[in-house]
Structure 1
Amino acid sequence: MAGASCPQDVLIAKLETRFPLSESDRDALRGLPCIPRTIPAQSYMLREGTRPTKCCLLLDGFAFRHKLAADGGRQIVGLMIPGDFTDLQHLFLREADHNIQALTRIEVAEFAAEDLRGLALGRPAVAQALWIDTLIEASIAREAILNFGRRNGPMRLAHMLCEFEVRLRQSGLADAGYDLPMTQEQIGDATGMTAVHVNRTLKQLEREGLIVRVKRHLKIADWVGLQQRADFNPLYLHLDQARPAD
């Protein structure tokens, strides 16, 4: 999606990683009105219990979904990178069941949910692309449940790093590593670990020669080794979805 010149182009590029679109579909998407916005780091974009009226496309920066327990404990349930929808489910669900927050300073394009929903209902290829994107999001959530429930701390953290690397590569955002946009506390909220445990585990992965860190910049030094350490299989990301069926 690198090189897209306007929000509608980013939208088209995103959907075409899910399902082929016709030129007529692309023209209809180019005609969708949107509002570009800049949102400061840590700002809430959506709160649980509210009724969303817009659907945001993340253009730059990183955001996350999270749920809060009654005691205030936070569980991060999803990370979003440029090119991702932040709240596609609210095209059809009336009330938000989780929170969405900017992880870094972000740029988004706000599309009216009514506009995008109407386009999807009238254009089967657009609807299929949006549906596939939602299904892949659900697949990522299933993998996260397995990660939390059946993998130990080092495996959970290694798995998160593998997933982040693959998703960034797919979007053209990772070459010789990347700046990890999360604090150790936030990584802990995403992996069910304490910040102290996260710090120790990152150092352990470094000692094993799997990653290299310079401040927040992280580079995977042994991709095969990190995958094995994490029990990582990218099948759940459905990276082949945009290829024609056999």
Structure 2
Amino acid sequence: MTNPLVRRLEHYDQISSEERLLLEGITTHVVSIPAGTDAVQEGQRPGVSTLLLDGHCARYNLTEDGHRRITALHIAGDFVDLHGFILRKMDHSVGALTDCAFACVDHAVVKEITRSHPHITRLFWLSTLVDAAVHRQWLAISHASAAKRAAHLFCELLVRKRTVGLATGDSYYLPITQVDLGDALSISKVHMSRTMKELRAKGLITWEEDRLTIPDWDAISDFANFDPTYLSLSKEPR
């Protein structure tokens, strides 16, 4: 199976065989983290950048009253803390929503890549810009109804999972809980349950045995006003 990082970056630009070998070589130090465990903790000064190879995890902060606020959902192929290479001290945590496998890339290796591989450096930079664009998009639609925001998220995940080979047609594996989804949408578990019922009743999704399916892409993308431009998936010289 192709390395998910390679698959993701190949959607941005052509990658040479030398660059492919480099990317595959830096992702060999793999650690497993069980669901419910933090891969990165707020306040930490990590010495590695962490690439998600398998599973689902989330960036999050805790509010003053102890509630979790998810600010990003990550899938295989995502560097969950590449920005930590420059920022040094983490201002949020990254928690495993499912059992996860991560590749840990030492910051000394990342620094050497920035010196000797400018093209890969630009693609890494682009990946962090896309992360920021996703966050902006979540904020931009925060005024929309919970159903529209949930539909938008399900569209986004389908497009992102397709880029790394994790979607089959218009369906994909989504083994996270309604609590996780509610924390990403800033709504309660009860509200999330009602939202899922609404989307099912409209015929926009099915979610059975942890597999989410979108029966009618045009209908759900119109309902959510989803435009994937912010994901920057056009392949062109960078």
Q: Give the TM-score of the pair, scaled to structure 2.
A: 0.92
Equivalences for 1:1-246 in 2 at 5 Å? 3-4=1-2, 9-32=3-26, 34-148=28-142, 150-176=143-169, 177-240=171-234, 242-244=235-237
2:166 counterpart letter in structure 1: L
Give the distance between the partners of 2:22 and 2:167, measured in 1 at CA: 31
1:114 counterpart letter in structure 2: A
Larger relative contact order, structure 1 or 2 (CA cutoff 8 Å, min sep 6): 2
Residue 25 of structure 1 and its aligned partner are, at CA, apart by 3.5
* Equivalenced residues, count: 237
Q: Indicate if the aligned counterparts of 2:8 and 2:164 stay in contact, CA closer than 8 A.
A: no
| Superimposed CA distance per residue, residues 127-167 of structure 1 (whole angstroms, 9 cap, x where no aligned partner) | 1111111111111110011122x211111111111111111
2:164 counterpart letter in structure 1: S
**Identity, % of aligned pairs?**
36
2:66 counterpart letter in structure 1: G
Q: Indicate if the aligned counterparts of 1:19 and 1:125 stay in contact, CA closer than 8 A.
A: no
SS of equivalent residue, structure 1 residue 87: coil
1:185 counterpart letter in structure 2: V
| Superimposed CA distance per residue, residues 33-86 of structure 1 (whole angstroms, 9 cap, x where no aligned partner) | 741111111110111111011111111111110011111121100011111111
Q: Indicate if the aligned counterparts of 1:19 and 1:128 stay in contact, CA closer than 8 A.
A: no
| Long gaps (5+) in structure 2 | none
| Superimposed CA distance per residue, residues 191-211 of structure 1 (whole angstroms, 9 cap, x where no aligned partner) | 011111111111111111111
Q: Indicate if the aligned counterparts of 2:52 and 2:79 stay in contact, CA closer than 8 A.
A: yes
Q: Indicate if the aligned counterparts of 1:54 and 1:113 stay in contact, CA closer than 8 A.
A: yes
| Superimposed CA distance per residue, residues 2-58 of structure 1 (whole angstroms, 9 cap, x where no aligned partner) | x12xxxx44444333333334443444455374111111111011111101111111
Give the distance between the partners of 2:77 and 2:233, measured in 1 at CA: 15
Q: Which range moved further: 84-93 or 215-224?
A: 215-224
Give the distance between the partners of 1:132 and 1:76, measured in 2 at CA: 22
SS of equivalent residue, structure 1 residue 55: strand
Give the distance between the partners of 1:179 and 1:31, measured in 2 at CA: 28
Residue 184 of structure 1 and its aligned partner are, at CA, apart by 1.1
Q: Indicate if the aligned counterparts of 2:175 and 2:211 stay in contact, CA closer than 8 A.
A: no
Give the distance between the partners of 2:17 and 2:151, measured in 1 at CA: 41
1:112 counterpart letter in structure 2: D
Q: Give the TM-score of the pair, scaled to structure 1.
A: 0.89
2:163 counterpart letter in structure 1: Q
